[in-house]
Amino acid sequence: MNVFNQLSIWISFQLSIIFLIGIPVTLLIWSIKKRNKPIKKLLSIYWKISLLFFISLLLLIGNFNYALLITNISTLLITISVWFWNDINEELKEYDFSYSLTTTTKVWRWSLTFISLNVLVQSLQNISCFSFINSAACEIWLQPSSNLYIIIKNLFNFFFGANFTQPIAKFLGLFSLLLYTIGLIQWSIIQLPKNGRNSCFSEDDRN
């Protein structure tokens, strides 16, 4: 059962790379090329919110105790962010199935939701890892980030000529988390009461 759970978590992280990075990059470039304002706006919001997921990966590398909790919060916020905006949702309804850009975006949103729920369900099976990631039972959650650690370590050494260690990853993660939290609070206090669930995509790119 542990082997199956470990394999399931590994697959979830591999799918996350595709649906959290690969497809959104493709959709953003596609929307810019097609000059589709609502999808372009949706993807720009998505990338701002998804920064928390990458911050959580840094915290996983740094073995921060609450890293898994932050990972789940990040996937929850990501899911909310792609469904939240009334004006974008109404605009997407106007396109029929034959318009491939919007159809792909809709499929991506549902797939992203499923992946987020899957990560949450798997996390709840190891709920103690929400507050103590360094226990032996939680090792399976740290393994998927090991490859990322190797990549960052090599890049860090190449560009700066220094070692990228787990304490550095933890520091960068916590510092980024602080900045992200400040930005989210600022948006919640200023922008949310002003615009509500309106993304204001129609006001972008005005001459």
How many angstroms separate the CA atoms of 169 and 171, rounded?
6
Residue with tokens 């909310």: 80
Residue 31's SS3 state is helix
Phi, psi angles (nearest 5°) of residue 161: 65, 30
What is the C-alpha separation between 91 and 83, in angstroms, rounded? Answer: 12
Asked if 119 and 130 count as a contact pair (C-beta separation under 8 A), the reply is no
Per-residue pLDDT of the chain (207 residues; tens, 9 = 90+): 466 666 677 677 777 788 888 999 999 999 999 999 999 999 999 999 999 999 998 999 898 999 999 999 999 999 999 999 999 999 998 888 778 999 999 999 999 999 888 888 888 888 888 988 888 878 878 877 777 777 777 777 767 777 788 888 899 999 999 999 999 999 999 999 999 999 988 776 554
How far, in Å, CA of 137 to CA of 126, rounded?
8
How far apart, in Å, are the Cα atoms of 59 and each of 69, 113, 185? 11, 23, 21
Number of other residues whose CB lies within 10 A of the CB of residue 189: 10
Neighbours of 102 (CB within 10 A): 21
pTM assigned to the model:
0.88
Distance from C-alpha of 142 to C-alpha of 136, rounded to nearest angstrom:
10
Dist. CA 112–CA 16, nearest whole Å: 8
Q: Where are the alpha helices (DSSP H) in 35-190?
A: 37-61, 67-83, 86-93, 100-124, 139-142, 146-160, 166-186
* Token pair belonging to 201: 């995509």
In this structure, are residues 30 and 43 in contact, taking their beta carbons and an 8 Å threshold? no
**Spatial separation of the C-alpha atoms in residues 144 and 57, rounded to whole Å:** 9
**C-alpha pair distances (Å), 19 with each of 75, 87, 120, 186:** 11, 23, 16, 28
pLDDT of residue 124: 87
Whole-number pLDDT of residue 125:
84
Residue 71 in tokens: 């990972």
Q: What is the pLDDT of residue 6?
A: 66
